[in-house]
Amino acid sequence: MKSAVEQLATYKSVHLNPKNIRTHFFGVPMIIWSAFLMLGTIRFELAGVELSAAMVLMLFVLAYYYKLHVKLALGLTLFIIPVLITSEMAVHTAQPFMLAISIFIIGWIIQFVGHKYEKAKPAFMDDLNQLLIGPFFLMAELYFILGWEKQLNAEITPIARDKRRAIEAAKRGL
């Protein structure tokens, strides 16, 4: 398993433009919420307790984040719990799947607009695992804005810039 530094540096290498990062602070939460809503429509019972696929996914994803970086995972836990609660509430609306699809599409449009500013393709196009790193990256960026995890930022940023230079050199055929 790649380390948090490796994962974040790879993601950041195509997320260096502040406008792109700002769009991700809107698009990624929309995509996560809508995915939880879609998965929330898949219901089952276990030991007399009604569960959803979203609840199960949340446990696995949070376990992955905790394995990568405990402090960032704590922040993600505080983010994901309200996402799960509100998406579970929305499961009981008239057309939850249509709502989820609509928000999912809008979230991805916002993401791709951000990548127009970046002039780089999204990280997941080369590595599907980067879909899980998006929220992890945004939590890291929030920590950096708050002045937390300065050492992590100092580690990933130069690696990300080097990776970006390599990507751009490869595009130019150098």
pLDDT by residue (tens digit) across 39-90? 999 999 999 999 999 999 999 999 999 999 999 999 999 999 999 999 999 9
Helix or strand holding residue 33 (H, E): helix 18-40
Max distance between CA atoms of the chain, in angstroms, equals: 61
- Name the residue among 6, 44, 4, 14 with its Cα closest to residue 166: 14
84-125 tens-digit pLDDT: 999 999 999 999 999 999 999 999 999 999 999 998 988 888
Mean pLDDT along residues 134-151: 98
- Are residues 91 and 37 in contact, defined by beta-carbon separation less than 8 angstroms? yes
Q: What is the mean pLDDT of the chain?
A: 96
pLDDT over 90, % of the chain:
89
Mean pLDDT along residues 139-155: 98
